[in-house]
């Protein structure tokens, strides 16, 4: 699975869009990009995933560059409850189980 | 649905003691997983199961055992606890493997002294 690189921490003002970058330059053609987040002391929560097209759901948008070497998770109107660690994960899903390799993620702090 | 539940929430063990961490899901998911998370780190897979009666090792299985006698339950057994097993343990489940979303429980915080 692809190695992903994320900034250690980011800040965002409440109500503004939070844009979280992820580099995955070694990603292979059949690897999906997953985003999970972990709010303090809780279990990780699925946000979104995509292969090469941009994706949007009720929580966030995922923008993947054309060369697939990087992506950006967008929380359109960040709230204080979005303060969490955000994990970008590359996974083929091709194993017999859902292999998710969690790195250290980005600590997003949303300020009032 | 309660989703994925874990008990206990917290536990302190002495070195050499044993215990079982309980995990139950009510979503009729076939796949279940156990992860551990050390302070400031990401999650690491301990064991997983693709269905009742079938389990397999993940990245860090040493010191742990699992069983899966029912679809709903996936207990994790620690034998001869060691300080290196101090961690937060998360159970997760998914409908199937591959690209299916994993749903996580609230975690069990274990300290071994």
pLDDT of residue A98: 65
pLDDT of residue B112: 96
Closest B-chain CA to A51: B99
**Residue B69 contacts residue B23 (beta carbons within 8 Å):** no
Gap between the Cα atoms of B60 and B8, Å rounded: 21
Gap between the Cα atoms of B60 and B34, Å rounded: 10
| Sites in chain A below the pLDDT cut of 70 | 1-2, 92-99
Provide DSSP, A95-112.
SSS--------EEEEEE-
Which residues of chain B does A91 touch, with a Cβ-Cβ cutoff of 8 Å?
99
Q: Does residue B32 register a pLDDT over 80?
A: yes
pLDDT of residue A3: 82
Angstroms from A83 CA to nearest CA on chain B:
16
pLDDT of residue B64: 97
Angstroms from B104 CA to nearest CA on chain A:
5
Task: Report chain B's mean pLDDT, rounded to a whole number.
Answer: 93
Interface of A with B (CB under 8 A): 32, 41-46, 49, 87, 91, 93-105
Which residues of chain B does A105 touch, with a Cβ-Cβ cutoff of 8 Å?
42
Angstroms from B41 CA to nearest CA on chain A:
5
Average pLDDT over residues B41-54: 91
How many CB atoms within 10 Å of residue A59?
A: 15
Which residues of chain B does A51 touch, with a Cβ-Cβ cutoff of 8 Å?
none
Closest B-chain CA to A106: B42
pLDDT of residue A60: 97
Angstroms from B35 CA to nearest CA on chain A:
10
Radius of gyration of chain A (CA): 13
The four Cα atoms A5, B104, A48, A84 give a dihedral, to 10 degrees, of -60
Give the rounded distance of the alpha carbon of B64 from its chain centre: 10
Closest B-chain CA to A47: B101
More confident call, B105 vs A90: B105
Q: Give the closest residue to B32 by CA, choosing from B20, B45, B49, B47.
A: B49
Which structure tokens are listed for B14? Answer: 């002495």
Q: Does residue B3 register a pLDDT over 80?
A: yes
pLDDT tens digit sequence for B57-88? 998 999 999 999 999 999 999 989 999 999 99
pLDDT of residue A96: 54
């Amino acid at each position: 699975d692809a190695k992903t690189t994320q900034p250690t921490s980011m800040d965002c003002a409440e109500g503004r869009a939070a844009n979280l970058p992820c580099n995955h330059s070694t990603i292979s053609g059949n690897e999906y990009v997953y985003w999970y987040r972990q709010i303090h002391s809780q279990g990780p929560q699925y946000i979104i995933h995509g292969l090469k097209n941009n994706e949007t759901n009720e929580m966030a948008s995922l923008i993947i560059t054309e060369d697939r070497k990087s992506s950006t998770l967008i929380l359109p109107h960040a709230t204080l409850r979005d303060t969490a660690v955000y994990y970008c994960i590359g996974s083929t899903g091709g194993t017999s189980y859902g292999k998710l390799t969690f790195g250290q993620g980005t600590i997003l702090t949303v300020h009032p | 649905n309660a989703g994925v539940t874990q008990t206990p929430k917290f536990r302190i063990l002495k070195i050499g003691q044993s215990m079982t961490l309980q995990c139950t899901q009510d979503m009729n998911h076939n796949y279940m997983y156990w992860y551990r998370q050390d302070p400031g780190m990401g999650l690491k897979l301990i064991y997983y199961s693709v269905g009742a009666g079938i389990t397999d090792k993940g990245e860090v299985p040493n010191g742990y055992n699992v069983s899966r006698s029912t679809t709903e339950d996936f207990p994790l057994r620690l034998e001869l606890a060691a300080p290196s097993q101090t961690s937060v343990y998360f159970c997760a489940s998914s409908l199937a493997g591959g690209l299916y979303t994993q749903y996580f429980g609230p975690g069990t915080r274990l300290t071994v002294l």
